[in-house]
Structure 1
Amino acid sequence: MHDASRFRQEGTLPIRRPHAFAAVRLAATMLVLVPAPALASNGDWATASDVAAIGLSAVAVGLPAVRGDGSGALQAGASIGAAGLVATGLKEAFPELRPDGSDRRSFPSGHTAVSFAAAATLYEREGPRVGIPAFAVAGFVGVARVEADKHHWYDSLAGAAIGTASGLLITRKPHVMEAAWVPWGDPHGGGVSMAMAF
């Protein structure tokens, strides 16, 4: 039996995106780079959160772009941008002092909002195999921002909600189109018919 037919009968689809595991690799890399909590300084946590947020955003936009999925890249960029704008607007509307006292831009966590927007976009476009590790990296960003003494726990929680909502509202699942060519013939002639499902 042909592989595609077998997968359809079993109710599963084969993975045909070899670089869909980029987010999984990123998650594994972040776990390796995470400093041990007992040894990490605030600066270490801040740097780790910067690297994870930038990396996750780059994967969310870059993965569809590399595959020629302009719509997916655009949706990822829009989701990340919208989350960043909402977080920035709330920082201006509610000027809360950061735990380290550096400024009054604590609420909500912009890093966390952008990371969760990227993760939600990856979840929508790529499915749970990429989306769940991406959410794990986004969760790490939220924890790292608190550990870096840049945010309160509720700042990260609000950022996670903003980012997830942005990613899920702006990103659409890709349309899957299947086509089948069916040859036919009878005593009066023949030809090929095409059937499409999308």
Structure 2
Amino acid sequence: MKTFRPTSAPFAALAAASLTIAAPAHASDKDWDTASTVGVGALTAWAIGVPVVTGDGKGVLQATGSIGAAYAASTGLKEIFPERRPDGSDNRSFPSGHTSAAFGAAASILERRGPGEGIPALAVASFVGFARVQADKHHWYDVLAGAAIGTGSGLLLTHPLADRRVALVPWGDSTGVGASMAMAF
């Protein structure tokens, strides 16, 4: 008898979506734009959908808050720091909203579900940022700022499940950056 595992379903769906939207080297700006939008949608569905399916109400609220805060912060910064997009379409380049939402979802997945799902989610979020630059919608620094905003909101607003036995905590000070890991035996 086959057992349904909610943690494997999002990964399988995301892998299938990634293969479907994989763009050739000569993809158009529109193709890259579409791929980044699909990536954000997939991460959002994953970050919120898995907690819904598993009955994790706190996880739903934390993921929704992380993604919403990241997107709200990036939208506010677009108003404060208007910058022309590389394609010249408008003055809303800085920071990348797609990237901030993607990293908000990915960081929430990492914090709530662990590295088994978090690392692939961060890879998809990185692809979203790459695709935004390839689509000529953002400069590299717009994407970097969006990634920082999203990661920050995801790590600040999402808390791991109580029974988690491994914690990875990023840190930084004036002498460097790193991560500390704690394990319970």
TM-score (structure 1 length as normaliser): 0.78
Q: Is it true that 1:37 corresponds to 2:25 in the alignment?
A: yes
**1:186 paired residue number:** none
Alignment of 1:33-112 (within 5 A): 33-38=21-26, 40-112=27-99
In 2, Cα distance between equivalents of 1:127 and 1:44: 31
**1:137 paired residue number:** 124
In 2, Cα distance between equivalents of 1:147 and 1:29: 22
In the comparison of the two structures, how many residue pairs are matched?
A: 161
Deviation at 1:25, TM superposition (A): 2.0
Q: Compared with structure 1, are the counterparts of its residues 17 and 128 closer, same or farther at alpha carbon in structure 2 (3 Å cutoff)? A: farther
Say whether the 8 Å CA contact 1:27–1:136 is kept in structure 2. no
Deviation at 1:17, TM superposition (A): 7.9
TM-score (structure 2 length as normaliser): 0.83
User: 1:29-87, CA deviations, whole angstroms, 9 ceiling, x for partnerless residues?
Assistant: 2431211122x100000001111101110110110011110000000000000000000
In 2, Cα distance between equivalents of 1:31 and 1:146: 18
Q: Is it true that 1:116 corresponds to 2:103 in the alignment?
A: yes
Structure 1 runs of 4+ aligned residues shifted over 4 Å read none
- The higher radius of gyration belongs to 1
RMSD: 1.6
Say whether the 8 Å CA contact 2:70–2:101 is kept in structure 1. yes
**Unmatched runs of 5 consecutive residues or more in structure 1:** 1-15, 178-198
Say whether the 8 Å CA contact 1:26–1:56 is kept in structure 2. no
**Unmatched runs of 5 consecutive residues or more in structure 2:** 165-185
- Give 1:37's aligned amino acid: A
Quick one: percent identity of the two aligned structures?
57
- Give 2:124's aligned amino acid: V
Secondary structure (helix, strand or coil) at the match of 1:107 reads: coil
User: 1:152-181, CA deviations, whole angstroms, 9 ceiling, x for partnerless residues?
Assistant: 01100110000000000000001129xxxx
